[in-house]
Structure formats: C-alpha cells, structure tokens
A and B are shown apart, each in its own frame.
Chain A
C-alpha cells in the first residue's frame, strides 16, 4: 500500500510539501520512491541560499535505471538541503516523508500553497 499522509500537500509531479511556519519542507512521495526504484545517487542542482522558482529542478535522483528531476513545488529561498542523504541514500526509499526529506524552502508567495493537491486529490491522481 502506498502511504499518503493526510497532513501533507502534494504536487502532480509527486513531491510532498510540509508547511512549517514560513517554510516548506519537501521531498518525494512514497509512490515516487517506489516508481523510481532504489536511489543510487543524489545531485543537488541548487545551494542553500539560492532563490528558486516554482517548477525549477532542484534535485536529481538517480536510480539504477534512470535520472529523475525533483521540482520545487514553490517559489522561494533554499533554507536547507539534506546533504546528509549523500551517505544515506537508502533513507529516500525507506523513509520518504521522514529522514528522506530533500530541502527546506522559505515560501515567498503563500498563495502557491493553496494550489497544491490535498492528500485526497493526490490519492485520486495516482489511482488513475
């Protein structure tokens, strides 16, 4: 069973967003990690302090089979990247909503959060 926590927001490109005050913590969903298969390499396309726009590629996750871009769900400034994943890649597959988080972004425009998918809407999306 794919795990889709109710208290998170989602994108159509399979990122999750957790609102933490002014910030958004992001990662890839359980559905995404399963579809990608085991992650064997992570490549951050941005640095802490960089400004990103909604839809920018910020991380590339490589599985044995393919390279896959992770897109920023919001516009804002990168507060923190989970650089520790480089030595603990398995966390992305094992704990996509926990220790497998990818970045924390300071949200520039809170209205962008309103157009993200709810857990229910995301569930419907992946059932199709």
Chain B
C-alpha cells in the first residue's frame, strides 16, 4: 500500500528532512541532527509533526458509558475540557492500544490512537458500539502538531490571546489562533458535524468551527515529559500553523523535531510505545500503568487485571541503565546466567550519554538495583534496574 502523507509532507521534503515510512506514513526521522533536536526540546522548545496519530470523534447520548466499557480510565466522569490517558484492553487484560481521550462536549469526545493502530482500534470501537453512539475516523482530515519544551507556552502565546495559563496539564480547549493568520475557513469539514451540533447545546458551534478550520483543538499534553501542547486542526490549515509557530519560536531557538528524537525523548521518560513495548501481549499491571485504571466502572479486561493483581506473580516493566553498549528492541536480558527477559525499547540517552532500555522482568528481578546483563550481539554488557524516568 502506498504510504500516506501528512499535511506537512511537502514542508519536510523542502526543508531537507530525512523521510522514512513509519506506521504507513512518510514521516521525518530527523532534519539535521537527532541529538540537537532532542536537546532543543529538553532545553527550550521543539516542534513535531504528529499528524500520523489518529483522530476519532465519538459522540452520542451513550458515548460516556460506551467509552467506559472499553477504557481503563473513566470518561463518563471526565469533565468537558479535560483529557485522560487510557488503555484499551482485550478480555485477557492485554493492552491493544494506549491513547489520550478528551471530552469536547456533553456527549462528544476526541480520542487520539497511535498511527499503527488506527484501523485496528476503529474496528474495535465500532464492534463494541452500544446504544446511541457514533464513531468518526477523522484521522486523514485532521493534522496534529506537538509544541514541546519549557518555552512552548511563550511561543504559543504569540499566536493566540487565549489565556494559556488556564490550560493546565491535561486540560484541553478549542482555541482561536487569533494573533496569527492561520484560520481560513475550509469548505469541506474535517468531519460531519451536523448531528453533533444538534446534540450539543453549548459546544456545538465550537465543534463546527473546529471541523471547518476556524478553531483549533489544543491540549496541554505531549510525549516528551516536558511542558507543551498538542494542536489538532483541519488538515487544510496545519501547515500555516506550523509556519507560524516556527516564526514565533525563532527567538527561543525552536527547531523542527523528527521521529528519531521523539523516540529518545519518550524513552528517557519511560513512556511506552504502542506496538513496541506492548503488542496485545502485556497488561496494564505489567506495564506499571495502573494510574490509568479507575476501578469505579466495569471495562473489558478488568477481571483479568484484578486476577493478576491478586495473584501477584507477574512480570513487570523496568528501566535498565547500562554503562557500555547500546541496548535495542529484542536484545536478551540475563541474570545469574539465566535469560530473564527481553528489551522492548532501547537507545542511547542523549542526556545521560548511556544506553537505556525498557523490558519486562520477573517479579523478583524487577527491583531497583538488580544487576543484569544485556546480550548485545555476542557480548554481555552489565546493567542495573533503575528508577524511572531515566531523566
């Protein structure tokens, strides 16, 4: 299948990005230097094209209850204008995907699945539909830009008069970039909004304007562990927002950041990558992500999680720091001459300048300070289980 292009594809190519196919999309892996891009985000601010991520609009009178059937987190109690990180599990409690969902109206939600799982999760959501619920896959019609780093609020403030200080961590809202010339009404909406507008009393108009590109949807979220925003917009105006942010960020040394640094930034924080750190084979409990579970509702996989917790004897996700060598996905982890696990993600941390890895280890080894060896090619490199985040 022909790889897809994001609304920023032409910009990336024109500006010398090294392009790779990732999850069916042609994406920039780096512009000039992964390490420089990584540092820009840790020290000031960087800009990511994350338009490959999916966008589901889920609405209807039963949307909250429907989502609670599928999600470990509780979306019926989620307030309008707030985001929650959730896992979606199968009956065995295995993670099918992780995503952030936002409540955008009384009966409407915006969910952002991973690029590689858009089709799979769209099927899963539609298969489990109950009552009055509609699910729109608007992934191709919406673009997403992540603005990340401690200077991100200063950069975004140059584009909008919206009081960003009110948009605290994991809050989200419809925002007009009224200080920049980016909103041009798009004739064809990113998704069919008329039924949503009928349903929503107070937020219908904003959802309509968002669909036509005269508003953006901005959340204070990210995948870098730094302060920052994710800005979702009609694909027709995504490039204009990108250019405006680069202009506004010049005084802070903003640079575009590719997938290479996106991976090292998330790994330094111990954030999971769907399809790499779990692939329908690990539970939320094993992934140390119980913070994403609210046991106040009955969701698919809940029984399996409770049984596993009660049993207690399960493998756990750990972070491993090595003094030499570079661990990679698939490398074996040993202790006392015995193979005890496999690296699910590994790289060199640009901040620590040492190899870091994620992997699942049996209970007795998943303890801070445990000495392990990672088999890299034919050599064993010593490492230690450490507390995460690494940085």
Contact = CB atoms under 8 A, between A and B. Distances in A.
Interface of A: 37-38, 40-41, 43, 45, 60, 62-67
Given A37-B34, A38-B35, A60-B377, A67 B326 contact: yes
Contacts of B376: 43, 67
B231 interface: no
B326 A41 contact: yes
Interface in B219-264: 260-261, 263-264
Nearest to B36: A38
Contact of A67 (B261, B328, B353, B379): B328
Interface string B96-136: 00000000000000000000000000000000000000000
Contacts of B30: 37
Nearest to B348: A40
A64 B33 CA distance: 10
B347 interface: yes
Contacts of B377: 43, 45, 60
B34 A38 contact: yes
In terms of DSSP, what is the predominant structure of the interface of chain B? Answer: mixed
A45 to B, nearest CB: 7
B325 A64 contact: no
A4 to B, nearest CB: 19
Given A40-B35, A60-B377, 17 more contacts: A37-B18, A37-B34, A37-B260, A38-B33, A38-B34, A38-B35, A40-B353, A43-B379, A45-B377, A64-B35, A64-B260, A64-B264, A64-B348, A64-B350, A65-B260, A65-B263, A67-B326
A37 B264 CA distance: 14
A65 B326 contact: no
B34 A62 contact: no
A60 B331 CA distance: 15
A41 B326 CA distance: 7
Contacts of A63: 34
B248 to A, nearest CB: 28
Nearest to A63: B34
Interface of B: 18, 29-30, 33-35, 38, 260-261, 263-264, 325-326, 328, 347-348, 350, 353, 355, 376-377, 379
Contacts of A40: 35, 326, 348, 350, 353
Contacts of B34: 37-38, 63-65
Contacts of A64: 34-35, 38, 260-261, 263-264, 347-348, 350
A65 B38 CA distance: 13
B122 to A, nearest CB: 29
B40 to A, nearest CB: 14
Contacts of B347: 64-65
13 contacts: A37-B18, A37-B33, A38-B33, A38-B34, A41-B325, A41-B348, A43-B376, A43-B377, A64-B35, A64-B261, A64-B264, A64-B347, A65-B263
Closest 7 CB pairs of A and B: A62-B326, A40-B348, A64-B34, A41-B326, A65-B260, A38-B35, A37-B34
Given A38-B34, A62-B348, A64-B347, A43 B325 contact: yes
A19 B68 CA distance: 69
A40 B328 CA distance: 13
A37 B348 CA distance: 13
Which one of B29, B34, B35, B326 has the greatest number of beta carbons of chain A within 10 Å?
B326
Contacts of B29: 37, 65
Nearest to A57: B377
Nearest to A66: B328
Contacts of B261: 64
A65 B35 CA distance: 11
Contacts of A67: 326, 328, 376
Contacts of B325: 41, 43
A63 B264 CA distance: 11
Which one of B18, B261, B328, B348 has the greatest number of beta carbons of chain A within 10 Å?
B348
A38 B37 CA distance: 12
A32 B30 CA distance: 15
A66 B260 CA distance: 10
A8 to B, nearest CB: 25
